[in-house]
Structure 1
Amino acid sequence: MPDLANKTPENIEYMIEEIKTKLRMASGAAMQASAFSLDQYEDIQDVFELVMKKNNFSISEVESLVSELGRLRRQS
């Protein structure tokens, strides 16, 4: 696992990919790491840590987490 103390695009990509894998996101292709800004790093890291701590998620938990990631995406 990379050193997540460093705010890098590579670490954002790692965290997003791990979140998508753990949540088994069917729409994972829509959640590209490049859509996130380094300005949101701490928030992404918070979501990442929350997801990594749990083994199972209810549908409503997955929906909430995906919604939060959507909120953190860059506004185009």
Structure 2
Amino acid sequence: MALDDKLDGMKDQATGKVKEVSGKVTGDSQKEAEGKAEGLMGKAKEKLGEVKDSASEMAEDVKEKFKN
């Protein structure tokens, strides 16, 4: 699941950047703003995936400690 969040976040960052640059080139400030927002959401999703990975690793470490 965390990998899905990371990949989805990367995709959103990439499409957001394309929209942002497209908006800059064409002078469409709304499209530029949408691209920036999408890029920020992508970063947030990617960070969420990283947090999920860390939490999962911590849970596994705790399980291992209680097994011994």
Q: What TM-score range do you get, normalising by the shorter chain?
A: 0.3 to 0.5
Query: Bigger radius of gyration, 1 or 2?
Result: 2
TM-score, length-normalised on structure 2? 0.35
Q: Which has the higher helix share?
A: 2
